[in-house]
Structure 1
Amino acid sequence: MKKVIVVLSLISFTLTSCVSKKEFAALEAKNKECQDLLNSATVKLNVCLSEKEALLKQAEYLKQTNSDLINSSKEMTVLSAKGAQNIEKALETIKEKDLKISRMQDALTKKDSVTLALVTSLKSSVGISDPDIEVNVEKGVVFISIADKLLFKSGSYNVSDRAREVLAKVAKVVNDKPTFECMVEGHTDNVPYTGNGVLLDNWDLSVKRSTAIIRVLVNDLGVKPSQLIAAGRGEFIPLVENTSADNRSKNRRTRIVVLPKIDEFYEMIEKEMKNPRK
């Protein structure tokens, strides 16, 4: 230990003897200044490294974003092309639909024209002034409604002589339209049928009246049987409530439905649909 102390003393003496205290202080100050510069440089280096890392990350993000934008741009170009094609196809489809609608409207207009002409002919022929005979159009179909008091006696299905006069006018119009069909509907009130045992109820009576009128149209007035349809509706479709004698009288009626043959109507529409137009 004494040897170490002796050696340190010698070194101290040697240093103090080689460098003056003033120079030593200057060196210490210079060393401190260098140390401060080094510390400052280290701090700045660390900041620069941090900024560099941040800039690298930002550059990578921008690079990826740019790549995504390029890809998106390509996809948008493809989508735009497909969108244009789809729009063009949609416009073509709409144009075709409009053309079909226009042709169907033309066909319906023709049908309505035929119906209107038929109604005019019926009204002038049948004698629309008679309050017991009505001619009207519902949903493009012509209806001739004849009160039963013009056609039958109460509870009977024998056609009266006066009814033959009315039916002759109807037959003339039907014969002028050989492509049309007529459905003869019998309607009754709700009073139970009490006639002979051949008929069971009002439904039977309504059907029997329908077939009786059809036989007059066919046998006496020359209407083709293929144009006629027999139908009985009984008491189940009243015009008014069966609450009075007057109302029951309104419900007892025969209705003749005049309509074009359905297949011919569809053929008319199909022809319009296929007709090439510009």
Structure 2
Amino acid sequence: MKQTKIFVMAMMAVALMATSCASKKDLQNCQAENRELTANYQATKEKLAAAEASLAAAQEQLSSTKKDYAKLQNSLDKSLTNANQNNISIEKLVDQINESNQYIRHLVEVKSKSDSLNMVLTNNLTRSLSREEMKEVDVQVMKGVVYISLADNMLYQSGSYEVNSRAKETLSKIAKIIQDYKDYDVLIEGNTDNVPVSTTSAKMKNIRNNWDLSALRASSVVQYLQDNFGVSPKRMTAGGRGEYNPVTTNDTEVGKMRNRRTQIIITPKLDQFMDLIDKAPEDSQK
């Protein structure tokens, strides 16, 4: 009997120990699950806060967009109201656009015709010159007027308004152009830099200023073309512009050299100019 009690008590102790072990394991599992649930809850809470912030920003953007839309709608309403008040129709706007396009096309045609006339005029007036000669004579055509520009050191003696001997060949080329169109008007225009005239030279003692010098140099070229190449004086005009028509600054020696120049300007009469379009030079393609 005593042995039975001992056995029963031993079995109860084993059962109690087994129960205790099982409860401790369940507790650990519950604690781990609780930690996991807590972490998931915190993560979900953070996501919810971010979503709420994003929603608030979206609502603010929507509110701003609605305000912009309201402004645009108000502006459109005003524009439509003004359009109705001024009786501006779609057809009228289309007509105005068409008129503008026609005007633009007209300007393009005028510019194209002007460029064509200038090209024809250049070819006609320079057909007497070879390619090598054209390198020595600067010929430009602008708005139907021929500008031939020559540096003063090509034409005049140093410190003088007299034409030098080296200018003969250059002026002979100019004379070819002038004589090719005998009815054209020719303006010889003298230009200087802004350096005052020195009166110490005997050749310059009667010259008061750059006005005198530029006019006398132009006059010398006129007389040279008349005396040596038979250009009619009735066609030519000599003029001086002194230092007041520079093509660049006088602050450098190069600039001063460019401003000291003589321009020979050949101007066709209007009816002759319009006839040029039908008179291409025979050797314009050379």
Bin the TM-score by the shorter chain: 0.5 to 0.7
In the other structure, the counterpart of 2:258 is: 250
* Partner of residue 69, structure 1: none
1:189 aligned to 184, 187, 193, which one? 193
Question: Partner residue of 2:184?
Answer: 180
Aligned to 1:15: none
**CA shift for structure 1 position 107:** 8.9
The corresponding residue for 1:260 is 268
Instruction: Map 1:143-158 to 2 at 5 A.
Output: 143-158=147-162
- Residues 1:117 and 2:117 aligned together: no
Say if 1:120 and 1:157 are closer, same or farther in 2 by CA, change over 3 A: same
With over 3 angstroms needed to count, the CA separation of the structure-2 counterparts of 1:122 and 1:157, relative to structure 1, is farther
Residues 106-161 of structure 1 show CA distances to partners (whole Å, capped at 9, x for unaligned) of 9968854541323542653782323xx42112222111100100001333111011
Instruction: In structure 2, give the amino acid aligned to 1:179.
Output: D
Cα 1:205/1:267, change in 2 over 3 Å: same
Alignment of structure 1 residues 197-208 onto 2, 5 Å: 197-208=205-216
1:134 aligns with 2:130: no
- Distance in 2 (CA, whole Å) between partners of 1:126 and 1:167 is 15
**C-alpha distance 158-126 of structure 1, shift in aligned 2 (>3 A):** farther
Which residue does the alignment assign to 2:82? none
Secondary structure class of the residue paired with 2:267: strand
CA distance in 2, matches of 1:170, 1:201: 28
Deviations 1:235-261 (A, max 9, x none): 111111111222111110101111202
Change (3 A) 1:129 1:107: closer
Alignment of 1:36-115 (within 5 A): 111-112=117-118, 114-115=120-121
Asked if structure 1 preserves the Cα contact closer than 8 Å seen for 2:126 and 2:177, the reply is no
User: Any conservation in 1 of the 2:121–2:276 contact (CA below 8 Å)?
Assistant: no
Q: Deviations over 1:181-233 (max 9, x none)?
A: 11111010000011334211001100000000000100111111122111111
1:161 to 151, 158, 165: 165
Query: What amino acid does structure 2 have at the position aligned with 1:139?
Result: K
Which letter maps to 2:135?
Answer: S
* Letter paired with 2:240: G
3-state SS of the aligned residue for 1:145?
A: strand
Change over 3 Å in CA distance of 1:237–1:141 after alignment to 2: same
RMSD across aligned C-alpha pairs, in angstroms?
3.6
Q: Which moved more, 1:179-188 or 1:113-122?
A: 113-122
Residue matched to 2:248 = 240
- Identity percentage of aligned residues: 37
Q: Secondary structure at the match of 1:257?
A: strand
CA distance in 1, matches of 2:160, 2:122: 34
Q: How many residues align?
A: 175
Distance 1:220 1:267, change over 3 A: same
- SS where residue 238 of structure 2 aligns? strand
Query: What is the DSSP-based 3-state SS (H/G/I as helix, E as strand, rest coil) of the residue aligned with 1:214?
Result: helix
Max Rg structure: 1
Give the Å deviation of 1:105.
9.5
Q: Does 1:229 align with 2:229?
A: no
Q: List gaps (5 residues or longer) in structure 1.
A: 1-100, 270-278
Paired residue type of 1:117: N
C-alpha distance 170-229 of structure 1, shift in aligned 2 (>3 A): same
Q: 2 CA distance for matches of 1:160 and 1:129?
A: 21
- Distance in 2, matches of 1:213 and 1:194, equals 22
| TM-score (norm: length of structure 1) | 0.53
